Amino acid sequence: MSAVRLGVAGWPVAHSRSPQMQNAALAAAGLRDWRYQLLPLPPELFGETVPALPAAGFRGINVTIPHKQRALELALATGAAVSDRARAIGAVNTLVFGPQRIAAADNTDAPALTAALDRRLPDGLAGATALVLGAGGSARAAVWALLDAGAAQVRVWNRSPQRAQALCDAFDGAIPAGTAQPADILVNCTAVGLDAVAQDAELAELPIDPDALRYRVVVDFVYREGATALFAAARRQGLPAIDGLELLIGQGALSFEQFTGVPADLDAMRAAAAAAGALSSAP
């Protein structure tokens, strides 16, 4: 019998830890005929290749840089059931296929963040204040997730202020921040931390004082082998901290459940993602 196929489409995508993580979850769920693979797909081929995947045995795919916006456009154009949050965020990271077509599209990055924060904030997110650093794709998901969970105020700082302004124009309740502001939650959605450069130099690129992080919880979307400087600084100060690996596992588990209809074994995913990280330090 031929395998039921899943995969992650990106360009480049060779560094992704998703195959190890998802194949571990498939094994733990006893789905022996299922396989999750890399799908290196240049942008110019995305639109014609993805609709052909269901007929080739694919049940669904994750979508990563640079295809998340294109995946939303494709899902909308082909009449798929697109979740409200994917529409609001403007990005899709999960496509579920029917026998011949894209059946559903979602964004699981946002609920992964909300779930991780809920585990750290016993009183929940309602009424909380947040400072989001960055104005790219992950920042859009973070701002939407925080506002959807009832955050009272979400401020957005970005290196290029006009992008922070544009993001805030898209979300009622988001306000551009010229400098770092005190808040309950700090979320780093910039790419700072990705390169293994000197820790001090890394944090100097962000408008925060690493020795005085006045937040109740710190989130770093970025992850790499060892800790990012921001994650390490939060831990040093005894603050609850969420790293990008926890978010990667969270979004992957939610996608897995949409692909297979069964719960994901988080411990198996975590162990596989961590082991993959020992080989590759990129997300």
List the one residue from 8, 39, 105, 135 that touches ligand NDP (CB under 6 A): 135
Report d(CA 280, CA 277) in Å as an integer: 5
Max Cα separation, the chain? 58
List the one residue from 31, 95, 139, 218 that touches ligand NDP (CB under 6 A): 139
**Annotated active-site residue in 5, 17, 68, 155:** 68
Q: Is 132 a catalytic residue?
A: no
Q: Among 121-129, 135-143, 144-152, 255-263, which window interacts with ligand NDP (CB under 6 A)?
A: 135-143
For ligand NDP, which residue has the nearest CB?
Answer: 136
In the block, residue with structure tokens 């961590």: 274
Rounded to 5 degrees, φ, ψ at 54 are -55, -40
Contact call for residues 31 and 260 (beta carbons, < 8 A) = yes
Contact call for residues 128 and 184 (beta carbons, < 8 A) = yes
Contact call for residues 108 and 91 (beta carbons, < 8 A) = no
Q: From residue 272, how far is each of 25, 134, 171, 241, 260 by CA, in Å?
A: 9, 29, 36, 21, 19
Report d(CA 237, CA 164) in Å as an integer: 28
DSSP 54: G
List the one residue from 60, 134, 176, 210 that touches ligand NDP (CB under 6 A): 134
DSSP 160: S
Contact code string over 44-73 relative to ligand NDP, x by CB under 6 A: ---------------------x--------
Shortest reach from residue 239's CB to ligand NDP, in Å: 19
Site for ligand NDP in 224-263 (CB under 6 A): 244, 247-248, 251
- 144 binds ligand NDP per the rule CB under 6 A: no
Contact code string over 179-208 relative to ligand NDP, x by CB under 6 A: ----------xxxx-x----------x---
Site for ligand NDP in 22-41 (CB under 6 A): none
List contacts with ligand NDP (CB under 6 A).
65, 109, 134-139, 158-160, 163, 189-192, 194, 205, 221-223, 244, 247-248, 251, 283
